[in-house]
Amino acid sequence: MKTDPWIVRIPVRPADPRPIWSQIEEGMRRLLASGALAAGDPAPSVRELATELRINPATVSRAYQTLVGAGLLEVRRGEGTFVSAAPPSMRKSEQARLIRHAATTFASFAITHGADRRSAHEAVDHAWDELDEE
Amino acid sequence: MSATVESTMTDGAMVRVHNLSVQYGKRRVLDGISFEVARGSVYAVLGRNGAGKSSLIRCLLGLQKPSAGHVLVQGADAWTHRGRVLSSVGYVPETSDAPGALRVRDIVAFHESMYSRWNRSAVADRLKRFGIPERAGVSTLSKGQKALLTLALALGNEPALLILDDPTLGLDVVARNDFFSDFVGELADHGTTVILTTHDLLGVEGIADRVGILQGGRLALDEELARVKLDRSQSLEQIFMDVTGRSGGLS
Amino acid sequence: MRKALAVATLDLRRQWMAAGAFGVAAGLIPALARYIAARVEPTNAVSFALGVAALIAGATFGSDFAEGKSSFFFARPVSTPSIVAGRIAALCGLCATAVLGFTAASWLSGHQGLVTSLVPITTRHLQIVAAVWIVSLFFSLAIAANTRQARRKEFAEFLIGGARVAVAVAITALMLGLFVDLTMRAYAVPTPVKLLTWSYAAAAFLASLAAIELGRTDRLRIGRVLNVGMYCHGALACAVVAIAWAYVLHPGAGAITGLANAFSAPDGRVAYVYTHVDRGDPTVFAPAFSVDLGSGEAQRVMADGGFSGLDTPRIWHSRDGNIRVWNERTPLLFRYARRIVTSASTFRIRTSFGDATPFAMPEDADFDWNTFEFRNLDILPASAGDLFAVRWSDRATGQHVAFVSPSRGELSRLRLPTAQFIRTWAFLESTRLRVVAQRAGAGGLEFIDIDTLTGSTRTVATTDRGAFYRSVTLDASAQRALLLSIPYPSGPSDATVSVLQLDAPQPKPMALYSGKANNADASFLADGRIAVLVRQPPTADLRVFSPDGKVALTRPLGEGFSNLGGEPFANVFWVSTLVRGIWNVALIDARSGEMLRRLSGFRTLDNWDRGVPPPPGSPGAHLLMSTDRKLYLLPSVTDDPRPLLLH
């Protein structure tokens, strides 16, 4: 199966106000969640990812540190960085809390910008479709 | 380390600019700017044309005597200890400053004699990758090749500090790609400290840890990039426009 | 050092072709010149090749700078001294390349062997290389630093800049004026000029080095350092030249190391000495002093000998010694200015009781436009004052005698043929000048009286042709002339001494002595008698004649004294001679002819003022000069000579 280059699989938008390390972290999480990166697969090296994405390796490093701390990636000495054999599933309650938090942020944004409930729902669906294409 | 190292220097600061002023006759180009660049970080200096970026670069390299203030690189004053400072500095100028009518290999040989630490194989490897023949005359190289050559030379001594003055100006996409990939590779491999000036706001957004915006001879902004983007919810380009006073942000 | 060599290698790599090409071109020049029948010395062609190489090498800093390439070197960890050393090494390499190209081209085009095509490199070539390199370095930096005026200057800046340039030019002009004055008057060799020129070169070199180190890539700073450097040097050079000028040209009496010449003023109270001092070059510099014979004090008189040394006297007196005229050696620079402003000449008059006043010369007298002064003049002040006879010769227009009065201007003028050379002259009264002229070759003498108011002439007496008059002397009243004729070179020949009474109705020379002699001398004594000395080795005969020409005394002197001196004391006169390099003088009693005293190692002084001796008994008449060139005074016949001036 041909794999797309990292720059496509982990879209990092410099213009995006979110910190880049956070974008990388999120991208990696999505790949892990969707199964594109399976347990035990080698994670891209910091150098490789930084070069391809054209970002500071320190930033990539930081993202990886977070992921390692969250248990999604593990460092095997002498071998490299790999996806954790058994990535812990997030506790349902924790997941729900995070999603509710993100939803609140989105809803507040939509309301401030004069959107109604229906167009907000449409926007969510649209974004989901887009991301799901990967 | 020289005896004049200031003990109040922040730990790990590679470069410390203190109260730097540069004046040409009546024209004050830099007016008492101060900032620090931490070891291993990338500091991007932005500014409109004529904002003083080049003067700052020249002060960092010991090419210009400050009218006031000083620049310390690894604790040594850049002006008075130019030789010592520059032995661990790589410089990529905006346009190649190699005198014409010379071959690539002459320039490479010259650089090799200049630095006590020189990675000959890495330089040769880079030149091969960039497609720059050693026998070619410098003036026959394309713009992109010249930029890549200067990068290869600047990285040859595995510098602790890399200074770039608008390195990707006028380069095509391919050349820019090559440039960045080698540049980022160097960062990954050696944790080089970087100070660069640029107009390529988009390209530098991913690279810079910290950003300084020169405006009217002063540092209008000197912040960690991630934080300032978050605080303002803006891209670097928008922040730059705002700070330098261009009216009407982008939507 | 490895880094300096790297710089040198880089510079050589980019410049060797140009240097080599010019070397080859220069090598072809002598051959090409032969085609057009001109001659170019190989050594000069090599100079050209080396000069071009030095020009290219020296301009490197400036041209790199102008092209924005100077950061290539300065942004690398190589120190400025290393860069400069590398560039100097590159200079040597470029010169060698040029010479190689030259030699090859010269050999191939010259039909000579390779060895004979080699041109030796001399110090002159090295000097050219150094000079061209320094000039090229300095000016290329200056030009690069001054291009690209980023903004328009305000008017005030123009004014200030203009004022600064004007001040610099004025100071430089002043310095050069003093320098020229100093070198032309006190030095025969071009050493001072070389020193000054090389000091500028050294200053340009040091200023360039400082500009490179302190300015690096800052245009403004480079220009500023160059400016400051050269202004400082200019100020220093000014100060040094001014001090040297004051020091060398104005020695005090203590600086005197020996005398070149000396003579007494007609009044016998002052002597004038041309000295050698402890500064300057004695072959051209002989500062004049007046010595008060009463106090022994010497005072500087700015009437030094001409540029060729002591060619002509520059101090003239009236017969009674009351009026003195001299040619003041004012600094050349001021002469130009003064002449333009006041049209005054360099001549000064001083009476024995007044200050020096300027003296206007006739405008068409022999004026040297190089040194801005009248020259080759002969001047006779009239004793009554306010009247001067001025004589000069012009190749085109002949001899001129003009009568000039400071208060009344030029009174009259007379032209004589150049062939009629004036031997001596004296004022009769302030309205008449008596001139003794001799026609060239073996012409006779002509005694001419000139009316000072009208310039009309009257010939009083003439002598026959064919006689060569060794000396012609007028007595104090100018009514009697003493003529000595003896042919050169000295060897036994016919000597004749005759006296001519000019106020007689038909003046004819009356022979006092006629006979064979090797050498002879004759002079009037103060009381009107005439002394004649005739030398036939190994002895000499002294004859004294009464005023009316009768023999009063004849006496052999034993030794071969050949010169008559003045009368130091009443009725005592000097005779002197030079024997095997040593002067001997003797005092002779005028009445008995007896030799009163003999001194070895001394000679009497010349009387430059056409034989006007100081009065007997006056200190000026007692002066002697020793063989080691010191001035002595003989207080009395029996005392030992007392040294003056130098002890």
Which residues, 6 or more positions from C273, have their beta carbon under 8 angstroms from its beta carbon? C256, C259, C261, C262, C288, C289, C290, C291, C298, C631, C645
The complex's ipTM works out to: 0.88
The Cα angle at residue A84 between residues A81 and A87, in degrees rounded to 5? 150
Instruction: Assess if residue A117 is contained within a domain.
Output: yes
Cis geometry, peptide bond prior to residue C538 (ω within 30 degrees of 0): yes
Query: Which region among B65-79, C289-303, C324-338, C386-400 has the lowest average model confidence (pLDDT)?
Result: C324-338
Identify all chain A residues contacting B210, using CB atoms and an 8 Å cutoff: none
The Cα angle at residue C137 between residues C131 and C138, in degrees rounded to 5? 90
* The pLDDT of residue C607: 66
Instruction: With CB atoms and an 8 Å threshold, state whether B85 touches C75.
Output: no
How many beta-carbon pairs below 8 A join chains A and B? 67
Q: For residue B144, what are its two tokens?
A: 């992109």
Subunits next to B (3 or more Cβ pairs <8 Å) are: A, C
C308 falls in which pLDDT band (50, 70, 90)? very low
Share above pLDDT 90 across residues of chain B, in percent, rounded to a whole number? 46
Identify all chain A residues contacting B237, using CB atoms and an 8 Å cutoff: 15
Taking CA atoms, C518 is separated from C494, C537, C637, in Å, by: 9, 7, 30
CA neighbor of C284 nearest in space, from C261, C305, C263? C305
Distance of CA C329 to the CA centre of its chain: 10
Q: For residue C505, what are its two tokens?
A: 């109705």
Asked whether residue A79 falls in the same domain as residue A55, the answer is yes
Q: Which residue(s) pair with C524 in the sheet?
A: C530
Q: Do chains A and C touch (3 or more CB pairs under 8 A)?
A: no
CA of A46, closest CA in chain B: separation in Å?
A: 8
Asked whether residue A100 falls in the same domain as residue A77, the answer is no
Most distant CA pair in chain C: distance in Å? 105
C32 falls in which pLDDT band (50, 70, 90)? confident
Range of the domain at A64: 6-83
Mean pLDDT of C140-162: 75
CA neighbor of C139 nearest in space, from C214, C70, C200, C68? C200
Query: Which region among B6-20, C69-83, C199-213, C496-510 has the lowest average model confidence (pLDDT)?
Result: B6-20
Residue B52's identity, in one-letter code, is G
The answer to whether C286 and C643 are in contact (CB under 8 A) is no
The Cα angle at residue C484 between residues C575 and C417, in degrees rounded to 5? 130
Mean pLDDT of B52-75: 92
Asked whether residue A16 falls in the same domain as residue A78, the answer is yes
Instruction: With CB atoms and an 8 Å threshold, state whether A19 touches B187.
Output: no
Identify all chain B residues contacting C217, using CB atoms and an 8 Å cutoff: 58, 63-64
Q: For residue C412, what are its two tokens?
A: 């009259």
Residue C633 clears pLDDT 50, i.e. is over it = yes
Residue B174 clears pLDDT 80, i.e. is over it = yes
DSSP single-letter state for residue C418: T
Instruction: Assess if residue A108 is contained within a domain.
Output: yes
Instruction: With CB atoms and an 8 Å threshold, state whether B206 touches A46.
Output: no
Mean pLDDT of C387-391: 86
Mean pLDDT of B184-209: 86
Q: Which residue(s) pair with A65 in the sheet?
A: none
> Residues in chain B whose beta carbon is closer than 8 A to a beta carbon of chain C?
24-25, 27, 58, 61-65, 82-87, 89, 91, 93, 95, 97-102, 106, 109-111, 113-115
For B83, counting Cβ atoms within 10 Å of its Cβ (0-12 exposed, 13-18 middle, 19+ buried), the class is: middle
Residue C356 clears pLDDT 70, i.e. is over it = no
The answer to whether C511 and C497 are in contact (CB under 8 A) is yes
C224 to chain B, any CB pair closer than 8 A? The answer is: no
Instruction: With CB atoms and an 8 Å threshold, state whether B63 touches C217.
Output: yes
* The pLDDT of residue B11: 59
C476-505 burial: b if 16+ Cβ within 10 Å, else e: eebbbbbbbbbeeeeeebebbbbbbbbeee
Instruction: With CB atoms and an 8 Å threshold, state whether B86 touches C13.
Output: no
Q: For residue A123, what are its two tokens?
A: 């926007």
DSSP single-letter state for residue C509: -
Most distant CA pair in chain B: distance in Å? 53
Distance in angstroms (rounded) separating the CA atoms of residues C303 and C314: 6
Distance in angstroms (rounded) separating the CA atoms of residues C346 and C326: 9
> Which of B26, B30, B97 is the best substitution to test chain C (most C C-beta atoms within 10 A)?
B97
* Half-sphere exposure of residue C250: CA atoms within 13 angstroms, side-chain side: 9
Instruction: With CB atoms and an 8 Å threshold, state whether C75 touches B61.
Output: yes
CA of B236, closest CA in chain A: separation in Å?
A: 7
CA of B98, closest CA in chain C: separation in Å?
A: 6
Instruction: With CB atoms and an 8 Å threshold, state whether B97 touches C71.
Output: yes
CA neighbor of B149 nearest in space, from B138, B157, B161? B138
Cis geometry, peptide bond prior to residue C489 (ω within 30 degrees of 0): yes
Residue B249 clears pLDDT 50, i.e. is over it = no
A53 falls in which pLDDT band (50, 70, 90)? confident
Q: For the domain that residue A47 is a member of, what is the CATH number?
A: 1.10.10.10
Is 3.40.50.300 the CATH classification of the domain at B13-96+160-243? yes
Q: For residue C495, what are its two tokens?
A: 């000597």
Compare all CA atoms of chain A with the CA of B40 and give the residue at the minimum distance: A58
Asked whether residue A15 falls in the same domain as residue A42, the answer is yes
Which residues, 6 or more positions from C262, have their beta carbon under 8 angstroms from its beta carbon? C271, C272, C273, C274, C605, C623, C625, C631
**Nearest CB neighbour to B226, from listed A12, A19, A51:** A19
Q: What is the four-CA torsion angle of C249, C251, C256, C258, rounded to 10 degrees?
A: 10
Share above pLDDT 70 across residues of chain C, in percent, rounded to a whole number? 89
DSSP single-letter state for residue A10: S
How many structural domains comprise chain A? 2
Q: What is the CA radius of gyration of chain C?
A: 34
Which residues, 6 or more positions from C165, have their beta carbon under 8 angstroms from its beta carbon? none
Instruction: Assess if residue A118 is contained within a domain.
Output: yes
Distance of CA C7 to the CA centre of its chain: 52
- pLDDT winner (highest mean) among A31-35, A95-99, A100-104, C407-411: A100-104
Q: Are strands C378-381 and C256-264 parallel, antiparallel or unpaired?
A: unpaired
The answer to whether B96 and B146 are in contact (CB under 8 A) is yes
Asked whether residue A22 falls in the same domain as residue A61, the answer is yes
Query: For C579, phi and psi rounded to 5 degrees?
Result: -120, 115
Residue B3 clears pLDDT 60, i.e. is over it = no
Q: For residue C113, what are its two tokens?
A: 């062997």
* The pLDDT of residue C646: 67
Q: Are strands B193-197 and B161-165 parallel, antiparallel or unpaired?
A: parallel
* The pLDDT of residue A47: 85
Most distant CA pair in chain A: distance in Å? 54
Q: What is the CA radius of gyration of chain B?
A: 18
* The pLDDT of residue C175: 87
What is the SS3 assignment for C278-295?
CCCCCCCCCCEEEEECCC
B12 to chain A, any CB pair closer than 8 A? The answer is: no
Q: Which region, left, alpha or beta, applies to residue C331 given φ > 0 means left and ψ of -120 to 50 means alpha?
A: beta
Asked whether residue A44 falls in the same domain as residue A108, the answer is no
Comparing A53 with A17, which gets the higher pLDDT? A53
B6 falls in which pLDDT band (50, 70, 90)? very low
pTM over 0.95: no
Comparing C340 with C87, which gets the higher pLDDT? C87
Instruction: Assess if residue A128 is contained within a domain.
Output: yes
Which of A83, A108, A123 finishes a domain? A83
Asked whether residue A22 falls in the same domain as residue A67, the answer is yes
Distance of CA C440 to the CA centre of its chain: 29
* Half-sphere exposure of residue C207: CA atoms within 13 angstroms, side-chain side: 29
CA neighbor of C360 nearest in space, from C408, C430, C313? C408
Mean pLDDT of C330-349: 68
Instruction: With CB atoms and an 8 Å threshold, state whether B97 touches C69.
Output: yes
Distance in angstroms (rounded) separating the CA atoms of residues C432 and B35: 99
Asked whether residue A56 falls in the same domain as residue A38, the answer is yes
